Amino acid sequence: MKLHTSYRWYLYLVYYKFLKFTRFFTNSILGKKNHKFLFILSPPYCGSTLLNQILSTSDNLSCNNHLGVREGQLLPEVKGIMFENKGWHSEVNYPWEKIKNVWMKYWDQRKLILMDKTTTNIMRVTEINKVFKNISFLGMVRNPYAQAEGIIRRNNATAEYAAQFVLKCLKYQKKNKEFEMNSLFITYEELCDNKKNVVDKIKLFIPEIGDLDFDLEFSAHNFKTNGKMKIQNLNDEKIKQLSENQLKLINSYFIKDKELLDYFGYSIID
């Protein structure tokens, strides 16, 4: 039986309060001082929740939010600032010092690496760099048609909106990839089809992360199940969900930005 949304959010709040209460004591007594900060830079519906769960198998890493889509922007004290305040509008200026202070209360500071995967952060790399030190970025993209299908299905959005949003995300990711910062970029397809190679890349990029278990069953949301499943590439099945008219409309936008798709190794689908 599904819980009513308001009741589920109430349970979340109870959990968050309990977590923050316990973190206060462990962080005060056993917390480290010189942390490394890791930000996952990924648009929505590109596999970032799966990546978050894989990274969270590390004994040396703490994620600031373990519920739902596991985004720091959904924590109670910052949700009104980051998520509900025009999160996808680039001109919004966030109080990053305040956000950092809130996140520090949820991170397990006994861990060396403190991680966040807020999707809108793909637009805010410059601002994040000003506040967080000793920082690394792990970027991710996905086949744009598969991402568009997720936007349409999960948000009841039009194909036109989905295509424009996907291109907006890719433009930010191209900018982030070319920005001079400590970063590693991967694709959803690499993560699913060559997971050991990707995990090895990540461990080379952040040696302190230690061992990662990528062979578990993970509970990232997908169109096939809300339960747990092993890592598998769902792109083909997702793209088949697009109707002929949706595909034509999406292509009318993608063709205009074909070079952007080419940049990330993706092709126009007829």
How many angstroms separate the CA atoms of 59 and 40, rounded? 18
**Predicted structure pTM score:** 0.92
């996140």: which residue's tokens?
Answer: 103
Longest dimension (CA), the chain: 59
In percent, the amount of the chain with pLDDT more than 90 equals 79
- What are the tens digits of pLDDT across the range 32-44? 999 999 999 999 9
- pLDDT bin (cut points 50, 70, 90) of residue 269 is very high
- pLDDT bin (cut points 50, 70, 90) of residue 226 is low
User: What does the pLDDT read at residue 4?
Assistant: 58
Domains, in order of start, for the chain: 5-263 (3.40.50.300)
How many angstroms separate the CA atoms of 65 and 105, rounded? 11
- What are the tens digits of pLDDT across the range 117-159? 999 999 999 999 999 999 999 999 999 999 999 999 999 999 9
Name the β-bridge partners of 135: 37
